[in-house]
A = this chain, B = another copy of it.
């Protein structure tokens, strides 16, 4: 679900996670930018507000927050990870023309095959790639 920054901060407090300036800025960025940004995009944007910021901190923070299940990693590119403040089950569509990554509201459970009876499923990943409507109509 799309949690607000306040809800995310509450979760950090409940788990006794330190509310560092950097962590709050990263969470704030992900809440305000629902574009599945890369590490570099987050880094460049926050560097302006926090000049001392290190890219390693972005990596550390994003890794930690995804371990805590406060954010999600979207591995839809082959060379670079993307991050998502929405931790609810949903799919993604990547347009190979404009590069935009769309969210897909869908019931992922509808596509679990019988083969997996007896398996424990921890992650469900559904990605589509192609050309988006907007790019097609041009």
Question: Which residues of A line the B interface, CB within 8 A?
Answer: 73, 75, 78, 81, 91, 93, 95-96, 102, 104-106, 108, 110-113, 115-133, 136
Q: In the complex, are the beta carbons of B128 and A112 less than 8 A apart?
A: yes
Which residues of chain B come closer than 8 Å to A105, judged between CB atoms? 113, 115
Which residues of chain B come closer than 8 Å to A133, judged between CB atoms? 117-119
A87 to B86, CA, bound (A): 32
Number of copies: 2
A-B contact pairs, 11 of them (CB 8 A): A78-B81, A91-B111, A106-B113, A110-B111, A119-B131, A121-B130, A122-B131, A123-B127, A125-B128, A125-B129, A127-B127
A133 to B95, CA, bound (A): 36
